[in-house]
């Protein structure tokens, strides 16, 4: 069979993890996040799907997306046993479709870029919702994502102190040492102390609803902003449900947040405001210095699409 027409000249473009990791940085990720969240208010945004692999311990998410010019789907994987193979537990792959024939035009490995992408959503939420004088950050979690979150938030607020809360004091100390080596004033702390001192709380864990929340709602001071970055699948939970009654809640996509984000555990009637509406000034963000604001980030494919396109542009590659 002879192939003619548009398909004849097409070839599959494969961009490796090493290539994308070499080109991504906080500035590119934040600008891609701004573009993606602004785009959420202009049209339909597709909800993601979370499933597990042949081994129920392994899971992956499918997050489709489309802009006026491009469409694709991000496959995000979490394979906890990868450490035995010397590989990261998390990885991401973006499939970009050829808009002429509907076939995959490009495969982009975005493992490191996904960490920047996730942290960029946090930074955008902090920039839009946290108090302007916020200087103390409490980060719950000592995995590789925690360091990306601190770096991203530090780009939008003058962070003077970072309090690290881990499952153990030793894991918190190790992460604090890592952050200190990168120029942050960081130390380990207990959950109650961290919440009591923090202007911004970031949760970046794999905590589930069948375990206790990371902290108590009463420990969060008025005026605090909370970015919950870990809940992105049914059954995951980081926050105490009682916090919703004290907070104004924002998210990337309400439908998805209620199904697989932190808001799956929110009381009925909780109002979820899309962050894109705050970014485009269609809705107010923080209205008072005493507001507690919560950003429920379950992750949207549109952010992955814009990140991938930004990387292609920086690499001077066109589809």
Q: pLDDT value at position 2?
A: 39
Domain ranges in the chain are 6-113+302-314, 119-299
What residue ranges of the chain have pLDDT lower than 70? Answer: 1-10
Q: Which CATH number fits domain 6-113+302-314: 3.90.1150.10, 2.40.110.10, 3.30.1780.10, 3.90.1010.10?
A: 3.30.1780.10
Q: Does domain 119-299 have CATH number 3.50.50.60?
A: no
Contact 142, 172 (CB under 8 A): yes
Residue 74 known to be catalytic: yes
What is the Cα–Cα distance from 209 to 48, expressed in whole angstroms?
A: 20
Q: pLDDT value at position 301?
A: 95
In order, the DSSP letters of 159-194 are --EEEEE-SSHHHHHHHHHHHHHTT--EEE--HHHH
Q: pLDDT value at position 178?
A: 97
**Active-site residue identified among 63, 74, 236, 313:** 74
Contact 187, 163 (CB under 8 A): yes
What angle (nearest 5°) sits at the alpha carbon of residue 198, between those of residues 203 and 117? Answer: 35
Token pair of 59 as six digits: 């899971």
Q: What long-range pairs does 238-243 form, CB within 8 A, spacing at least 24?
A: 238/140, 238/203, 238/205, 238/207, 238/213, 238/214, 238/262, 239/203, 239/213, 239/214, 239/265, 239/294, 240/213, 240/215, 240/216, 241/213, 241/265, 241/266, 241/267, 242/217, 242/218, 243/217, 243/292, 243/294
Q: pLDDT value at position 43?
A: 78
Q: pLDDT value at position 42?
A: 83
Q: pLDDT value at position 11?
A: 82
């Amino acid at each position: 069979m002879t192939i003619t027409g548009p398909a004849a000249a097409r070839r599959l473009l494969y961009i490796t993890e090493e290539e994308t990791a070499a080109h991504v940085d906080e500035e590119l990720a934040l600008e891609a996040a701004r573009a993606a969240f602004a785009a959420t208010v202009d049209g339909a945004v597709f909800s993601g799907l979370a499933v597990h692999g042949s081994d129920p311990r392994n899971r992956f998410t499918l997050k489709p997306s489309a802009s006026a010019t491009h469409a694709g789907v991000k496959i995000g994987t979490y394979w906890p046993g990868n450490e035995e193979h010397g590989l990261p537990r998390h990885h991401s792959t973006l499939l970009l479709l050829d808009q002429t024939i509907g076939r995959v035009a490009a495969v982009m490995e975005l493992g490191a870029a996904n960490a920047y992408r996730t942290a960029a959503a946090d930074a955008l939420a902090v920039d839009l919702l946290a108090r302007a004088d916020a200087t103390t950050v409490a980060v719950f979690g000592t995995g590789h994502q925690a360091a990306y979150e601190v770096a991203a938030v530090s780009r939008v607020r003058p962070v003077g102190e970072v309090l690290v809360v881990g499952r153990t004091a030793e894991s918190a100390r190790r992460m604090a040492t890592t952050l200190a080596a990168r120029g942050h004033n960081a130390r380990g702390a207990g959950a109650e102390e961290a919440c009591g001192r923090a202007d911004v709380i970031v949760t970046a864990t794999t905590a589930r609803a069948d375990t206790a929340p990371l902290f108590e709602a009463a420990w969060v001071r008025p005026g605090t902003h909370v970015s919950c970055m870990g809940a992105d699948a049914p059954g995951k939970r980081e926050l105490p449900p009682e916090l919703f009654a004290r907070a104004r809640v924002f998210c990337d996509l309400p439908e998805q947040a209620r199904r697989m984000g932190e808001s799956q555990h929110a009381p009925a009637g909780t109002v979820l405001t899309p962050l894109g509406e705050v970014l485009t000034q269609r809705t107010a963000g923080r209205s008072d210095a005493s507001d507690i604001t919560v950003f429920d980030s379950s992750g949207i494919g549109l952010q992955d699409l814009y990140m991938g396109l930004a990387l292609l542009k920086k690499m001077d590659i066109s589809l």
